């Protein structure tokens, strides 16, 4: 009998039926009234999702496109920025900044480690010419959650913009833009938003918009001032990804119906479940303390090929998970549990991981892992996530 296929990667993620149906709607013209109505519908939901009073701009690109748009609109070549490098996507901030001609100071951290607010405070004190801090809320390559709330307290009263990649955080864990003092927050469609890839979303604070005007955009495509003018008129600057935006409208409705508090509580419980299950199997978790809510990065025992683990999990159990990136490619499994995923999917992922480990290297985990995982899930739901409890 064939197994049910489960997509448990850190993006793309499974799509709710309501979103799939919206994606299948007939095409509408992106300059006519039907599309304007879609754009009118999504903006209040986007502001709720981002926790901001600012306009949230839909961009026809991947999350990396939004990162590029942020850097090239907010900073002029020759300006200095501080980049937090704790994985492949921190490296991407540096690469984009350097390609734009910025002078980059990097704070580099070992895989699995998060930046501390004091590290950033010290770096800014050491160089008063730094004009931005570029950081991931969630470093998807390692499963680390950086303390963005604390970083906002550091940059809020300085002439320094806090630019946050929330691609694997928005809609997954708390990241309220205005309350936390974030100057630029961006995300992609294929993770917590429960949509296919191809759409990015970006919002700027008032002082960030002031900086955009001061810099003066040299972009033809990623011209954020022109994009905002169009957005205020319920349009996009260029041809719109119509079906993705129709799907986004439904996804945002689901967030409002469920409430962000309930979404975060579920994501916290699923994260607790995955971590407890892996630990019960005797496996080591890469991120020990500051860990992402939407995925769990699990170290593969020495002598076991992580690529073979993933292959067996897919072929025998129908569970698609992700390996590590770069030097972690064969030594890490990233079990995704963001978006439209529930407790049964996480249990299936843990089982598939155990099957893959046994087949690839003879590693035989304790059989209590499922019970331990369920207990952690129930405890997570009962006690609530830390930010909500606070």
- 221 and 237 in a single domain? The answer is yes
Nearest by Cα to 137 from 163, 160, 115, 169: 169
pLDDT at 390: 38
Q: Which of 257, 281, 308 is the last residue of a domain?
A: 257
For β-strands 138-139 and 332-336, DSSP reports them as: unpaired
Q: Is-contact 191 11, C-beta < 8 A? A: yes
Provide the whole-model pTM. 0.96
Q: What's the rounded Cα separation, in Å, for the pair 173 and 387?
A: 9
The total domain count for the chain is 2
Q: Are residues 111 and 29 in the same domain?
A: yes
Closest among 259, 249, 234 to 57, alpha carbons compared = 234
Tell whether 95 and 203 lie within a shared domain: yes
Among residues 257, 287, 304, which one ends one of the domains? Answer: 257
| DSSP-based three-state secondary structure for 84 | strand
Nearest partner of 139 among 332, 309, 305, 371, judged by Cα: 332
pLDDT at 40: 96
| Cβ–Cβ under 8 Å, residues 7 and 13 | yes
The verdict on 45 and 150 lying in the same domain is yes
CATH code of 344's domain: 3.90.1150.10
361 C-beta neighbours (distance < 10 Å), count? 17
Whether 276 and 305 share a structural domain = yes
Domain match, 318 and 248 both: no
According to the model, what pLDDT value does residue 367 have?
78
Q: Around Cβ 126, how many Cβ atoms within 10 Å?
A: 10
| Residue 206 and residue 266 share a domain | no
The pLDDT of residue 282:
92
Q: Which of 257, 292, 312 is the last residue of a domain?
A: 257
Encode 63-86: b = buried (16+ Cβ within 10 Å), e = exposed. bbbbbbbbbbbbbbeebbbbbbbb
- 156 within some domain: yes
Strand partners, 80: 103, 130
Max Cα-Cα span within the chain: 64
Query: Rounded to whole angstroms, how far apart are CA atoms 52 and 203?
Result: 8
**Parent domain of 222:** 17-257
How many residues are recorded in the chain? 390
Q: Specify whether 153 is located in the same domain as 265.
A: no
If you compute the radius of gyration of the chain from its CA atoms, what whole number of angstroms results? 21
302 lies in the same domain as 232: no
Q: What tokens appear for 356 in the block?
A: 């893959």
Residue with tokens 């701009």: 57
Per-residue pLDDT 10s for the chain (390 aa) are 478 899 999 999 999 999 999 999 999 998 889 999 999 999 999 999 999 999 999 999 999 999 999 999 999 999 999 999 999 999 999 999 999 999 999 999 999 999 999 999 999 999 999 999 999 999 999 999 999 999 999 999 999 999 999 999 999 999 999 999 999 999 999 999 999 999 999 999 999 999 999 999 889 999 999 999 999 999 999 999 999 999 999 999 999 999 999 999 999 999 999 999 999 999 999 999 999 999 999 999 988 999 999 999 999 999 999 999 888 888 999 999 999 999 999 999 999 999 999 999 877 777 799 999 999 999 999 988 776 543
Determine the straight-line distance between the first and last CA of the chain, rounded to whole angstroms: 47
Domain co-membership, 216 together with 290: no
User: For position 217, which CATH number holds?
Assistant: 3.40.640.10
Helix (H) or strand (E) holding 323: strand 322-323
Q: Are residues 31 and 146 in the same domain?
A: yes
Do residues 315 and 1 touch, judged by C-beta distance below 8 A? no
Residue 328 within a domain: yes
- Secondary structure of residue 5 in the 3-state scheme: coil
Residue 301 gets which letter from DSSP?
Answer: P
- In eight-state DSSP terms, residue 130 is E
């Amino acid at each position: 009998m064939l197994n049910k296929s489960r997509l448990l990667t850190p993006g793309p993620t499974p799509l709710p039926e309501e979103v799939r149906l919206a994606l299948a709607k007939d095409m509408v013209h992106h300059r006519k009234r039907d599309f304007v109505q879609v754009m009118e519908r999504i903006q209040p939901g986007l502001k709720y999702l981002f926790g901001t009073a600012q306009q949230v701009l839909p961009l026809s690109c991947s999350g990396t496109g939004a990162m590029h748009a942020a850097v090239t609109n907010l900073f002029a070549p020759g300006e200095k920025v501080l980049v937090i490098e704790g994985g492949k996507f921190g490296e991407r901030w540096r690469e984009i900044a350097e390609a734009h001609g910025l002078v980059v100071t990097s704070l580099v951290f070992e895989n699995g480690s998060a930046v501390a607010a004091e590290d950033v405070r010290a770096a800014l004190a050491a160089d008063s010419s730094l004009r931005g801090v570029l950081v991931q809320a969630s470093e998807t390559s390692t499963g680390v959650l950086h303390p963005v709330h604390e970083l906002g307290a550091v940059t809020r009263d300085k002439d320094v913009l806090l630019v946050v990649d929330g691609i694997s955080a928005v809609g997954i864990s708390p990241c309220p833009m205005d309350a936390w003092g974030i100057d630029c927050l961006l995300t992609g469609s294929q993770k917590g938003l429960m949509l296919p890839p191809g759409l990015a979303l970006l919002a700027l604070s008032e002082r960030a918009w002031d900086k955009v005007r001061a810099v003066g955009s040299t972009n033809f495509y990623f011209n954020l001032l022109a994009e905002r003018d169009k957005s205020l008129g319920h349009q996009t600057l260029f041809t719109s990804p119509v079906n993705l935006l129709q799907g986004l409208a439904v996804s945002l409705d689901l967030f409002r119906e469920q409430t962000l508090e309930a979404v975060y509580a579920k994501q916290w419980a699923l994260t607790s479940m995955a971590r407890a299950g892996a630990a019960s199997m005797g496996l080591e978790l890469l991120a020990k303390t500051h860990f992402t809510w939407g995925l769990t990065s699990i170290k593969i025992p020495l002598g076991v090929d992580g690529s073979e683990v993933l292959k067996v999990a897919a072929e025998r159990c129908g569970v698609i998970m992700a390996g590590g990136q770069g030097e972690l490619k064969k030594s890490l499994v990233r079990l995704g549990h963001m978006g439209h995923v529930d407790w049964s999917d996480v249990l299936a992922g843990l089982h598939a991981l155990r099957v893959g480990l046994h087949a690839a290297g003879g590693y035989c985990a304790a059989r209590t892992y499922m019970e331990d995982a369920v207990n952690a899930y129930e405890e997570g739901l009962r006690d609530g996530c830390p930010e909500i409890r606070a």
